[in-house]
Amino acid sequence: MSAVLEIVQELQDLFALYGQDHYEEACTQQSHAEQCATLAKQHGCDEETQIAAFLHDIGHFVAKYQHHPDFTAFGFAAHASLGACYLKELGFSCKVVALVEGHVLAKRYLLSVDKQYQHRLSKASWETALQQGGTLSETEIRQFESSQWCNELILLRRFDDHGKDPTLHTLKSEYWFSLIAEHLTHRR
């Protein structure tokens, strides 16, 4: 089996093990991943952003697989950094890694600049936002706004917020795993 196929199989195995978890949300993690990625595709985002949307919560799966002691009913608060490190080790592009790593920071940014944003978050997302540091300082806001992927991170965060509808029709995981295989193949 090629290295790319092994990586895709590893990701599929994680989804098989943990994709049906809810983390106090209305839909499963697998459905949430499919919804976020489908929303990114419908919005016209590039394939790297679509892949990041599909894998943005992979750190929850990795933390659960590793039996991390800080894993809660809401998942793993530091899932963004753990997921980014994991995807970097697997050979994903810098953009995919950066978007996965930054999607929590984008939530904190939106909480800081949009006073109504808190009311649009699910209970689980609000609880984890508090665990993840809450709002940003003025300096952190300026740093986020000047970051290379600021616009894509805000979009990804919007997909994350809207990708929790159990009735939304999506492209299924097989499609996304195929796109991931293409992405990794082109990087080798």
pLDDT digits (tens, 9 = 90+) for 23-52: 777 899 999 999 999 999 999 999 999 999
Alpha-carbon distance 60 to 48, whole Å? 20
Mean pLDDT of the chain: 94
pLDDT digits (tens, 9 = 90+) for 101-134: 999 999 999 999 998 999 888 888 888 888 899 9
Q: What is the pTM of this model?
A: 0.95
Please state the φ and ψ torsions of residue 87, each to the nearest 5 degrees: -70, -35
Is 23 in contact with 59 (CB distance < 8 Å)? Answer: no
**Would you place residue 160 in the very low, low, confident or very high pLDDT band (cuts 50, 70, 90)?**
very high
What CATH number did the domain enclosing 96 receive?
Answer: 1.10.3210.10
pLDDT digits (tens, 9 = 90+) for 51-99: 999 999 999 999 999 999 998 888 888 899 999 999 999 999 999 999 9
- For the chain, what is the domain count? 1
Domain of residue 142, residue span: 3-186
* Conformational region of residue 157, where left means phi above 0, alpha means psi within -120 to 50, and beta covers everything else: alpha
